[in-house]
Each structure stands twice: as structure tokens, then as C-alpha cells.
Chain A
Amino acid sequence: MVSNYRIQGATGEWEVVIGLEVHAQITSHSKLFSGASTEFGQEPNCNVSLVDAAMPGMLPVVNGECLRQAVRTGLALNAQINRWSRFDRKNYFYADLPQGYQISQLFHPIVGEGEIEVSLDEKDPEGTVKTIGIERIHVEQDAGKLMHDQHPTMSYVDLNRCGVALMEIVSRPDMASPAEAGAYVRKLRSILRYVGSCDGNMEQGSMRADVNVSVRKPGDELGTRTETKNVNSIRFIQQVVETEARRQVDLIEDGGTVVQETRLFDPDKGETRSMRSKEDAHDYRYFPDPDLLPIELSEEFVAEAKASLPELPDAKRHRYENELGLSAYNAAVLTAEAETARWFEGLAAESAKKQGKPEADVAKAAANWLISDLFGGLNKLGVDLDSSPISAAQGAELLALVADGTLSGPLAKQVFEIMLETGDDPEKIVEEKGLKQTSDTGAIEAVIADILAANSDKVEEYRGGKDKLFGFFVGQTMKAMQGKANPKVVNELLRKALG
């Protein structure tokens, strides 16, 4: 589908063309070419091997797990897996790069072309789908970190991150609005998390994007692009697209030309600024790294990587709709994040077990409760699903109590609030607080008799044809029963008593 996002300029409407290079830190215990740990948040320079520090005579040895994760990611993006690939050296000097070159893949990346389907409207996941092309994925080393605020005249270097494996996922320039760019990154992050190849935590820097933006009059050739480096949130990515497109349009319309350059985003000011132009661009002098042999992947290796993939979000969403009977919206919400889907599936399975019914019969109620009640409750507490005070098993127990008539809707809400607060089991709460719904006809009949006696005028009116008063008697009865009476039983007994 064609985006209708346009920038209004003095000379008319402009389109924006966006391509993203997403750097995703590969989930692995050790670094790409050394045995050092990848653990985040350690004291500076604790996770540094002799290889990472580029000591004389040290050699890289590739971590096969990182390659496997890149291959799994490629497979999840329906991409070409290159059975033969190779590492290259990208040469430049910087204090966070001990070797004086980054080991990357320019000429022969491990993953070739693929694609992602993104949905542009959460409420209508089927309606507004766009396919974004993936050009390639290559594997490379991350650099270390410079700290400029530790000493008045010197900069410090922390090499903990140096050598950690990254996947660079390069999109085609297929996005045409900030919303599309945002949807693409969200979907990509979701897939990476499903696959388990990257934790997708942008705030920790384990996923960041270089944003390529150009503008053109609709139908024109591609304009000159700028690349804004290291943007570390979806909101910022969208902001970069907006401000950079606007800047380029204004520049061109004022008679200037966009220069191909690298820019930086300043989140405080919400604007990009030039970092270096093409003229001062590094000549990276890429060449094949002679310390490493080409990577040859066997058919079995790729097949095993494929077999290890979990059900991916699109497939899962379709299954939720088709097999569990969920609405498209609910299915989309529940599958957007691997963690949510995992939680939901635990809840549905437990519910089915506790109620002795097929999952398809309990899934809808489970989905509704999870999306409206639990998400709402967690939102109020300000916590994520993974730190929910209520477990999936407890949620299933609550749903079972509703299903078997032990709790009415309103009672269930009360129990839920207490669970949220205390983390207690619903049965325990029902027991202790006496919140159990009663179907004890004797008790209910006694209450009804009292109410009818106390409201004989209304009884007369009802019997005289004022049917609407039935609701009044139900309300009075429920109130007297402190909300614990089974509404169905109350209705039956009232009709009988009122004749």
C-alpha cells in the first residue's frame, strides 16, 4: 500500500524515503571473537580478554553461537542464507577500537535478501499491511565506550562492550512515513525477541538504528540521503525522520542542496546536526580478514537453525484468530511481544486444564481478562507483565472460579483487585474474605421474603404490571446478600416469589 504521508513545502508536497540500518546486539554468553562475557552493567573493563584489548599476537576465533543466531534471524525474516560468507576488516582509528579495525562483513554477508510484513494499524492488523524489504544482515563487532566525564583532561575507555556481536539488519528504502519506520522497528524487534537472537532493549543500547532519509517530489528519482547515526528509541527514530525530512525540504526549497553526510540526533533539542560530510568520510579500506577462514554453513546447520525457530508472531496471530477464535485485534495485541504471547498461552493452557475444556473454549475469556483487566491493573501499578504480581496459574484459577459460578463478575473484579495488591491465590481470597457467590436457595429465599415484606407497595405495583420493578428487587436482594448471591438463582427465586 502507498503511504499518504506528505511534507507540505512552499513548492508543493514532498515524499520522504526511509531506509534503516538496525544494529542488534546478538544474545550470546561470550563475545563474537573472544571468550569474554557479554554481561551488561559490569564494572568497566571487567569483561575484556587479551583479544578484545588487541594485545600483540592475539587472534580472533569466531563464536559459532553468534552465527547461528544470525542465521536464525535471517530465517525468521524469510531471508536468503548465504552458505558461504566471510569477515572483512573495516579500518579506522579510534580509542574505543583497540584493533584499529572492526571485523565486519562487507563483501559477503551471512544473510541476504528477506522481508518483513508490518501492520500500520494495530486495530486492523489485516487491513493495512506493508512489506518492507531486507537487503542483508551481516555480523560484526561492537566497539568499546569512551567516558569523557571521569577526568578533567583525559578520556577513559571501557572495553566491556568491545567485541560484543552485533547483527546489522539493513532494510531497503521502503518506508515512506515516520509511522512506517516505527512499525518496522517494532515488528523487527518483536521478531528478534521471538527468535531470541536479541533482547531488543533499546534503552540499554542493545538495539539502535542508523536512519537514512531523503526527500523527493512524488514520482521523482530518489533524492540525496543523509544518515543519522545511533538513534536509540522508536520515538527518536520517528522524530529523526520528521525533522530531517522537514530540514531537507526547507533546504531544497531555499535553493540549497542536500549533501550526503552523517548526522547526529540531539534528543534534547529534537534536531539532527552534521557529524561529517562525504568529503571527510573515512576510507575504511575494507579487505577480507586474513585471521579468519570463510564461514561455510552446512545444509544441516541451516536446517537445525530452522527447526529451532519458535512460532513467529504472524503465524501465531493467525492461529489465535483461526483456532482460538480471538478477534483480530486481540490476536494482534497478544502476539506483538513474545513475552505476552508466552504468558497468554500459559494462561489459556491452565484455564483449559482447570475447567476441563478445550483451549478454544476458554481462550476468549482468557484473552479478554488479560487485555482489559490484567493489562489495566499492571498499567496502574506501572509494572510490566514479566513482573506481574499475578501468575498465569492464578489468573486461570480466577477465570475458573467465574466459569463455575463461584464468582460473579463484580466479585471477580473484587478478588482481582486483592490479587493485584497481595499476590494471593484467588481461592484463598475468596475463602478469607467470604466473597464466594452463594446459590443457597434457603438463605436467598429468606432475604427475598424480607424484602418483599418491606416493600409491599412495590410488590403491588409490580403485580399490577410494572415489570421494570423487577430490577429493583434484584438490586435489593443482591445488596442484602452483599453481592455474593448467584444472580441466576436470585432471578429464579424472585420470579417465583413475585408470582
Chain B
Amino acid sequence: MTDITDLGVAEIRDGFRGGAFSAREVAEAFNDAVAGSDALNCFIVKTPEKALEAADEADRALAAGEAKPLSGVPLGIKDLFCTKGVQSTAASHILEGFVPPYESTVSGNLLEAGAGMLGKLNMDQFAMGSSNETSYFGNVVSPWRRNDGGNTPMSPGGSSGGTSSAIAAHIVPAATGTDTGGSIRQPAAFTGICGMKPTYGRCSRYGMVAFASSLDQAGPMARSVKDCAILLEAMAGYDAKDSTSLNEPVPHWEAGLSGDLKGKKIGIPKEYRVDDMPEEIDALWKQGVEWMRDAGAEIVDVSLPHTKYALPAYYIIAPAEASANLARYDGVRYGLRETPDGANLQEMYAATRAAGFGDEVKRRIMIGTYVLSAGFYDAYFTQATKVRTLIARDFDQAWDSCDYLLTPTAPSAAFGLGDLSDDPIAMYLNDVFTVPSSLAGLPAIAVPGGLSKQGLPLGLQIIGKALDEQGVMNAGLAMEDRAGFTARAEKWW
């Protein structure tokens, strides 16, 4: 019999419905995998009882002919999502012990669709990071290792590093991620899985701990494009509780999947050919072009002239929003409170926030506070918002000549934990290919394309027009079919 943990979302769903196994068997198999994965540190909270409860309900529902779209499928939930009755911390000390009395819309939608919850996945603190080294609850370790026999612990990417590591290690079949500047796509690329950031507004932000409100977007991460489609269909939808939520019907993405790209044009943005890009990334990109052509697409060169300003603009806008979004963690109502002897209100704030936030979070709060300050606002924030408009316009103009863009997902393969942790700028450069589409609010998918010489996964990214998740996933599927990425990290944990 196959190992259930080898299966993805579609296979579990179909096998469960076909009677190949019960939901309880599925939940138990993954609960065991989760329990045995401590070396990866993917989970902040494990909830095997929740997974079993949902599984028993799924088994009952199936017997009663009431199975739901995700009945029988257990998932991981990134700790950025508030989950009712289960500690939700955004991997921070300041929210340690915080148990929300409410459920985020996205996790609620998944549970409502019949999914079970295996636990809360580790991540970069407040989703700030690209290596999963900023979590208060420790680094997440990728299941992947270089093929040099050195056993260097590798970064799973970030901020959705717990998610990417757990999926790559087959300890969850799929999970939620969130993407502000690349936090779904870069970790997906680092761990050889798929990750989809939908159009800004597709998934409600209600109940998702805010990092940068105008950029934050939830999305699925899984081992196949199809699984991403299945999950996104359940996660997405208009939510009156989020004013930026899009009031658009949710298409049947899974049913609409097709890898045939005949008549489609794929744009190759020349500005994405950055200096110092490793040769193997460039080679994979060229390979991607061939796969797209093979799928029937026409390849065109396009220009996104303001690309080089995207990263600086992002690292102004995102911290600016974060500096306000994180003001609520003040020790007054919930979470950590530090009261040094005789402390007044200001001193309590200072002590609480000093103890409760990690260095990277503090760095971004300070950057954000600085760029919004009197005298600097126009030079930084206003300028950055103008750049953002220009970047969105670049994409709009590109759509005159193509349907999708094909780019690498990240400028390198995964790096070792600790390699970049002293160099914030080098760390920020990881987002160079993912940030522009985030600023423009466009849907984009990361799909694994192959392995580096060191045996680490490399990913390619498809970016599409607003609301064209279907097209993006179709192009992703065409690539997935041709890449035939079956490599898997050898179990060492």
C-alpha cells in the first residue's frame, strides 16, 4: 500500500471519496509525520486532535453523502492566520500565548470546506524575512541538503518557511502561505514545491496578522499546481469584513486547468536579467522558455523599465505600513506585557516592545517610522508610492504584447541558515523577482523547474494579469508537466 504521506491534496481527496482509505487514516498518518518532524521545527503548535476531529467528521459526512470539497484533507496553517482557540503568534514573542476568540476568513473557509488542521506553521516573525530565521520559535530547517555531504542546515526560504519545509518533507500535503513581497513564492522555489500568490484582494485579510496591508495576500502552497488550484478555490472569495477584498466570483480553477498554451504569448522581461545571476538560474530560465514554446506559446521580449526601483520602493512601503500595523502590540490588551519596577505607560510600551519584537521586526518598524517622519515623508513614502504606480503601469503596458511573464522565482537556490543573517540587504535581494508583481497586486505562481548543481531546487515564476489566476495556473501546469520535477529531499530528520 502507498504511504498516505506521499499523496497530495487531489489524491487524498479522491482516494478518501473512493474508499481507498478513511479520513481518520489520513489524519493519523500525517499526525505521525508531524510528530516525527521536530528536527525541521516546522510547527509552532501541533493540533493532532483538530486533525482527527475533522477527519471523523469527514468520515461521517462521506457516509452520509455530505462530503465537502476538502473533506478528508488535513492541512497546515501558517501562524500568521488567527485560529479560534489555538495560539496564534505570527512567530513572535509579543503574541506568545495569544489565543484568538475568532477565526481568520481564509482558515475558516478551509475548515468550512471540510479540511482538518494539523497545526500552526512556523514562519519569519510577522512575515518579515526571507529565510525563516527571524521566528521567535527558532529557525525552520529545510528538508533539502546540498549534495556535498556537508549536512549544512539549509534555509527553507521565508517568510512561509514552515509551510514550504513541511510540504517538501511530506509532513503536510499542503498548507496556507502568505505573500507580501515573495513570502509564498521564494520559499516554494527553495524547497521544490508550488506556491501561488493570487491577485491582491482575492483572499480576505480578515484575521490574518497584518504586516503590510496593501501587499499582504494569502495563497496556497502544495506539491502541484492542481493542488494549489483546489486550495485556492476554497480559500478565496469576497469578504465584507475586508474592505480591500475583491467582490468577484471565485472561478472553478481546478476544473479549468489546461496546460495547452496555444495562442498565448509569454513575455520575457529583460530587466529581470540581473547582474551576478547564477548561470544555472539563467539556464533554467532558458529551459522554461523552451517548455513554454513546447506548450504552444509564443515567446516575446518585453520591458518593465521601472523594475530596478521595485525593491527600494517595497522596502519603504512595506515597513511604513508595518510601523503602523504593529503599533497595536503595546502590552495593554493582549500578548506580552513587561512592567519594569515603577514603570509608567511609556516605559511599559518600550519594555514590552523591546522584549516582544525580534531584531528584524524592530529594524522594519524603525525604517517605516523614519520614512513616514515629518520632513522625510515626501522624499521616501510619496516617492515610493509613485514608483509603485509606475511599476503597475509597466505591467499594464506589457500586457499589450503578452499574456503572462516568465521569470526566475528567486535569484539563487536556497542558502545555508546563517549565511545571510548578518546582511539584511543581501537578504532583501532575495525578493527581487517577486516584489514587482506584489507591488502591482498581480497573481503569480512559483513552480519547481529543476535542481542546482548542489542538488537544491530551483523555481520559475509565472506572473499574470489581475484576476487571471486561471491563466497563471495553466501556464504553471504546462511548465510543471514539462519540468517533471520529482526530486525529493531524502529523509534525515
Contact = CB atoms under 8 A, between A and B. Distances in A.
A91 B214 CA distance: 17
B328 A100 contact: yes
Given A61-B242, A285-B377, 15 more contacts: A56-B328, A59-B241, A61-B243, A91-B327, A95-B332, A101-B324, A285-B323, A285-B373, A286-B372, A287-B320, A287-B381, A290-B214, A290-B244, A291-B210, A293-B243
Nearest to A56: B209
B210 A57 contact: yes
B240 interface: yes
A93 B244 CA distance: 26
B373 A283 contact: yes
Contacts of A58: 206-207
Instruction: Please give me the 8 A-B residue pairs with the lowest Cβ-Cβ distance, nearest first.
Output: A100-B327, A285-B372, A290-B214, A290-B213, A54-B328, A57-B207, A56-B209, A57-B82
A292 interface: yes
B324 A59 contact: no
A328 to B, nearest CB: 50
B102 interface: yes
Nearest to B335: A56
B196 to A, nearest CB: 21
Contacts of B82: 55-57
Contacts of A292: 243-244
Interface of A is mostly: loop
Interface in A177-192: none
A423 B282 CA distance: 93
Contact of A56 (B98, B320, B346): B98
Interface of A: 50, 53-62, 89, 91, 93-95, 98-101, 155, 157, 283, 285-287, 290-293
Interface of B: 81-82, 88, 90, 95, 98, 100-102, 104, 205-210, 212-214, 240-244, 320-321, 323-324, 326-328, 330, 332-334, 345-346, 349, 369, 372-374, 377, 381
Contacts of B327: 91, 93, 99-101
A353 to B, nearest CB: 48
Contacts of B210: 56-57, 291
Nearest to B205: A59
Nearest to A92: B327
Nearest to B372: A285
7 contacts: A56-B82, A57-B82, A61-B240, A61-B241, A62-B243, A93-B327, A287-B321
Nearest to B88: A56
Main secondary structure of the interface of B (DSSP, over half): loop
B91 to A, nearest CB: 12
A436 B299 CA distance: 104
Given A100-B327, A287-B381, A290-B212, A55 B321 contact: no
A155 B343 CA distance: 13
Contacts of B323: 91, 285
Contacts of B244: 290-293
Contacts of B324: 89, 91, 100-101, 285, 287
A287 B372 contact: yes
A474 to B, nearest CB: 78
A158 B431 CA distance: 43
B100 A56 contact: yes
Contacts of B100: 55-57
Contacts of B333: 53-55, 98
Given A57-B208, A287-B377, A95 B345 contact: yes
A287 B384 CA distance: 12
A293 B247 CA distance: 13
B212 A59 contact: no
Identify which of B104, B210, B212, B243 gathers the most chain A CB atoms within 10 Å of its CB: B243
Nearest to A35: B241
B316 to A, nearest CB: 11
